[in-house]
Structures are given as C-alpha cells and as structure tokens.
A and B are shown apart, each in its own frame.
Chain A
Amino acid sequence: SQKIEQNSEALNIQEGKTATLTCNYTNYSPAYLQWYRQDPGRGPVFLLLIRENEKEKRKERLKVTFDTTLKQSLFHITASQPADSATYLCALAGGSSNTGKLIFGQGTTLQVKP
C-alpha cells in the first residue's frame, strides 16, 4: 500500500540555522509533492509544491527538493526564526489516478529556539 513518512516527529534547532525536514514515500508515483504548515489548533496552510520533473523549488526562505529516484523530498527553511515553529506536513498528489485526493504524512514539529 502507499506509504508516506516524515523523518521525525520533532526537530529542535537554534534561530538562524537551516532546518531540514525529510519526506519519504513508497509504492506511489506522484505527479507532484506539496508542503503545508500547521499551527496548533488550526488547519494546515499550503506553502508550495514541486512537480515530478522539477529538482528544486524556492520561495523566499523555503527550498524544496524532489528526488523521484530516491522517492524523497527535502524541505529547508534557511535563517530560521522562532516564528517558523510549527508542524510541517508533506503530501503526495496526482499519480496514475488523479482524483484530487492527497496522501498526507504525519508531520514534523519544528521548534526554533531564540
């Protein structure tokens, strides 16, 4: 069955460092991969997506890579700030039967310490 895993439940880093979150998947060939941010008690917010034929995507301090051979995406936040503290979810989309549904990972909770 399709499976998506995010490398760890929690990640603690110091302000100013780069945070790197990992998303691995199996038994799926997604057309694209998406990343979301979720704050406590609120719904996830879409951040950015990367297509299967793209290796890297950037948006301000965010960078996403997508390796379809390794079946892995890396999500980087450079110059991290305490305000970046949140849970980050990856999600797979598309594939052979594009129904509009997403498969979500369980999330990694990032804590950026001042």
Chain B
Amino acid sequence: DVKVTQSSRYLVKRTGEKVFLECVQDMDHENMFWYRQDPGLGLRLIYFSYDVKMKEKGDIPEGYSVSREKKERFSLILESASTNQTSMYLCAMGGRPHNEQFFGPGTRLTVL
C-alpha cells in the first residue's frame, strides 16, 4: 500500500513564526505536491516538485517556500506565518502512469 505521511495532524503557531510542514512518501516517485484546502475554495496547489531539488510554483505560492533535498521528502515552509495561512495543508504524491495522486492525512494549521 502506498503511504504518504505528514509530520503533524494538528499544529498551532503564532504570527511571525517560521513553520515547517514535512511530507514523506514510500514509493520513490518523482512528483510531489503541496495543497491547501479551505471551505468554499477547494484544493489549491501551492507548489509541486518533479524531482530532487526541482520545484515549480502552483497557483498560490506567495508566503510559502519548499525544499526537496531527498526524493522521499518534500517540505513546505511558511517563512513568517500569518493568520490567513490558517488552513488544512495536504501533501500528495503523484502515481504512475496516470498521475493519480495519493494524499497524506493532512495538517490542520492554526496561526494565532
């Protein structure tokens, strides 16, 4: 079974803090994605990576950065957290050959 894990299920941070969200996959696949999901707005792509050290901006990259130093690990970084970044964050891995995505359990981040 494909497994995508995320470092935390729930996280509470203060405005201005640097936040790291980590995602690990066990299938040695190239494509990994970070989304945020908000009521009424659906899934929005923040960043994706198609290989180690390769990344591409998604639809809403502002305020975020990513790191992919190893194939199995894709990190999302909030350089200076703000209250409007309170959301559910979902990591996904892209499968083969049809790009079906396998999601982690999600991290519900609250920024106070």
Q: Tell me if chain B binds chain A.
A: yes
Residues of A within 8 A of B (CB): 32, 34, 36, 41-46, 49, 89, 91, 93-94, 98-102, 104-107
Q: Are A45 and B98 in contact (CB under 8 A)?
A: no
A104 lies within 8 A of B103 (CB): no
Judged by DSSP, the binding face of B is strand
- Interface of chain A, main secondary structure: loop
* A43 and B104 contact, Cβ closer than 8 Å, known pairs A100-B48, A100-B94, A105-B42: yes
- Most A CB atoms within 10 A — which of B40, B101, B108? B101
The 24 sampled A-B contact pairs (Cβ below 8 Å) are: A34-B100, A43-B90, A43-B106, A45-B103, A46-B95, A46-B100, A46-B102, A89-B43, A91-B101, A93-B98, A93-B100, A94-B99, A98-B99, A99-B48, A99-B56, A100-B94, A101-B45, A101-B58, A101-B99, A104-B43, A106-B40, A106-B41, A106-B42, A107-B42
A49-B106 CB under 8 A given contacts A99-B50, A100-B94, A105-B42: no
Apart from A43-B92, A94-B99, A104-B42, 5 more pairs, CB < 8 Å: A34-B98, A42-B105, A93-B98, A100-B94, A104-B43
